[in-house]
Structure 1
């Protein structure tokens, strides 16, 4: 990406958490991630990231670098990476070596996304710097060497944005987790990046949770399923995503309703045209030219359909980007 002002239509990419729905197994979720990556490439999505979660009933992706390797082998063109590897859990040398192998086999297509979650990490900045030195020994722009992975820092705060800018890496903001700081964080990232490198900053990527369907009624049902799941999770219940039918029949407690209201701002839903309009407004408002879409549904078929409808609404298949984008 360039640091230029984005156009009116952002590019689309995928943040895949391999969601596990009620009645489905973790194996079903992982197989659906492979199906999604292959379809998303054909529909014009420019990158696909796999997430890391452990001991979770709702997400199956516990080894994102392994899943990323599978997706790289099953796709041909789009960038594939992690969103992200939880760096406090691993030695920097091991992380750099794993991604070095991937980038050697799939040059120009590997994104190494790193995050802070996963445990106490007072030395997190030093760990990031160690990884950066190992994977980007040259002095060119991030990912400038075709044989190196492209390094991304993931975050939800101004602090993470400043760190990415000062390291000279790419940056993805998790709007779906904490929409509020997005503008301040992306601004801080661009300022810090230019101060360190003397170059215009990449625009950054905004990761947004969104779901769409052919009708407003179906989209609303899918959204209520997500909000019920998220409300329960906030209150300590780690469960698979409920079916839309379960969400429709559910008697919401006062605390669940309170959490759902708090979480609505982090979810975009509606018909494809409605979601396209809202995501485009978010991209323009935050100065990014790429929206990373995170879609959660109980049934993998609903998720696949949502990504297909969204790609069609954006005309993504007519704007296929080269792998190095």
Structure 2
């Protein structure tokens, strides 16, 4: 199982000079210690995740600070962009990083984000898959047709040319089994989470994904399923729970007004009680919280369910110093999984 880091900070800027220091420090740790990738999100107009309005900008900053770790969009909200700008931005990062870019593509869901492209909200899913083909073509050096400022039809290529001949692509799925099947049918990898699905439901969706790959001529064993998990590996279960309870509860509360637009049941629940129940759910079965032993056991269960990679969300509000001191324990979990896999192969 691969391990990577993922970011979705919630905070108002209180110290601009240190706003991204945790990102830099944790990414450099990942780069030095054999983690597979770092994932950068796209968020707009809200403090929940809003430190990352363009993942390519964050990836470009990390490209100059790292040497081997993959730099991944997690995710580009495709309907908010023209494929031309997606490929231009990420080709630049591919050059600076010497070919370390991967892309996860998302349809988007928050209506306010679509202030950038209101005409695409209703057809955002269809637009995403149409744009996917253009992104592939542009990355490969092909031209696409557009109308210029004079109303003339022109054929355009993007520059700079990327280092990699083609990017590895993920499709971001929430809990809809049909999305997993669509990703499988198109030969895409999957980026998902346990926000609104159980481990058993995820295992069923992964099975559907593998079957869809096979039905459509793709090797069912080669698609990568990456699972985002909020992560804090503590010295013990009790220490971890105590450290994350306050920050993570605040983190959950900060996002409720966003999720109401998609899950109307949230609006009928008292926020404090909802956050308390959600915290217990996450701690026991939907996050990588606890001791090295507990987190290793959960990761093994996820691997048995079909997960290929854990993307650890580390910037949900725990003090930066505690996050940094946690990282060697997360690395222990990663190495435990690697040792177990090596033992199975032998």
Please state which band the TM-score falls in when normalised by the shorter chain: 0.7 to 0.9
- Separation in 1 of the partners of 2:164 and 2:303? 28
Map of 1:278-297 to 2, 5 A cutoff? 278-284=298-304, 286-295=305-314, 296-297=316-317
Alpha-carbon displacement from aligned partner over 1:76-107 (angstroms, at most 9, x marks no partner) = 01111111111121112211222223224434
Kindly indicate whether the alpha-carbon contact (under 8 Å) linking 2:140 and 2:165 is maintained by their aligned counterparts in 1.
no
Q: What is the distance in 2 between the residues matched to 1:237 and 1:148?
A: 34
Relative to structure 1, is the Cα distance of residues 109 and 256 closer, same or farther in structure 2, using a 3 angstrom cutoff?
closer
Distance 1:162 1:133, change over 3 A: farther
Provide the TM-score with structure 1 as the length reference.
Answer: 0.77
Structure of greater Rg: 2
The one of 113, 116, 135 aligned to 2:139: 135
Structure 1 residues 146 and 235, CA gap change in structure 2 (3 angstroms): closer
Change (3 A) 1:191 1:226: farther
Match for 2:129 among 121, 125, 128? 125
Separation in structure 1 between the aligned mates of residue 258 and residue 102 of structure 2, nearest angstrom: 32
CA RMSD of aligned residues (A): 3.0
Corresponding residue pairs, total: 289
Q: Which residue of 2 aligns with 1:151?
A: 169
Whole-angstrom CA distance in 2 between matches of 1:152 and 1:256: 30
The reply to whether residue 47 of structure 1 matches residue 67 of structure 2 is no
3-state SS of 1:126 partner: helix
User: Residues 11 and 111 (structure 1 numbering): CA distance in 2 closer, same or farther, change over 3 Å?
Assistant: same
Residue 113 of structure 1: how far off its partner (Å): 1.5
Residue 314 of structure 1 is matched in structure 2 by 334
Q: 1:64 and 2:55 equivalent? A: yes
CA displacement, residues 115-160 of structure 1 (integer Å, 9 cap, x when unaligned): 121442142322223223333579xxxxxx8333222211112232
Relative contact order (alpha carbons < 8 A, sep ≥ 6): 1 or 2 greater?
1
Cα separation, 1, equivalents of 2:224 and 2:289: 25
Q: In 2, are the aligned partners of 1:155 and 1:161 still within 8 Å (CA)?
A: yes
Cα drift, residue 49 of structure 1: 0.9
Secondary structure of 1:82's partner?
A: strand
**C-alpha distance in 1 between matches for 2:229 and 2:72:** 17
Query: Which of 279, 282, 290 is the equivalent residue of 1:270?
Result: 290
Q: Map Cα deviations across residues 279-300 of structure 1 (whole Å, 9 max, x no partner).
A: 222122x223322111223312
Shift of 1:52: 1.6
Change (3 A) 1:314 1:262: closer
Q: Which of 215, 226, 249 matches 1:205?
A: 226
- 1:194-243 deviation per Cα after TM superposition (whole angstroms, max 9, x unaligned): 333342332422222221222333201233124412442354399xxxxx
Q: Is the 8 A contact 2:6 2:39 kept in 1?
A: yes
Q: Which runs of 5+ in 1 are unaligned?
A: 1-9, 139-144, 239-251, 320-325
- In the TM superposition, what is the alpha-carbon distance from 1:20 to its structure 2 partner? 3.3
